């Protein structure tokens, strides 16, 4: 089992995993790099509709916006 708060724990947990469903608050660049390095072929990122026209000053909206902008998130 891996811990998203400890990206170093992800390699063994991702061994043989082809797809990841990732909650937006954990889409940090370091986590995404570990997922990619493990050879995972598909990532689904769960965020929220609030990113469309939402107030970026709102903490929850900001979390989702940051997740969608995370390095490595677009098309892989």
pLDDT digits (tens, 9 = 90+) for 5-42: 888 898 999 999 999 988 877 767 788 888 888 998 88
pLDDT at 61 over 80: yes
Token pair in block for residue 55 = 């107030």
Q: In this predicted structure, what is the pLDDT of residue 4? A: 83
- Residue 67 sits at φ, ψ, to 5 deg, of -65, -45
Cα–Cα distance for residue pair 40/55, rounded to 1 Å: 33
Cα–Cα distance for residue pair 67/39, rounded to 1 Å: 20
Q: In this predicted structure, what is the pLDDT of residue 57? A: 92
Cα–Cα distance for residue pair 50/62, rounded to 1 Å: 9
Where do the domains of the chain lie?
7-69
Beta bridge partners of 6: 3
């Amino acid at each position: 089992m891996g811990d998203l708060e400890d990206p170093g724990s992800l390699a063994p947990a991702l061994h043989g995993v082809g797809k990841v469903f990732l909650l937006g608050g954990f889409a940090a660049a370091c986590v995404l790099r570990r997922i990619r390095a493990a050879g995972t072929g598909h990532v689904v990122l769960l965020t929220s509709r609030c990113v469309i026209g939402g107030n970026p000053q709102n903490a929850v909206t900001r979390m989702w916006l940051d997740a969608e902008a995370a390095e490595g998130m677009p098309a892989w």
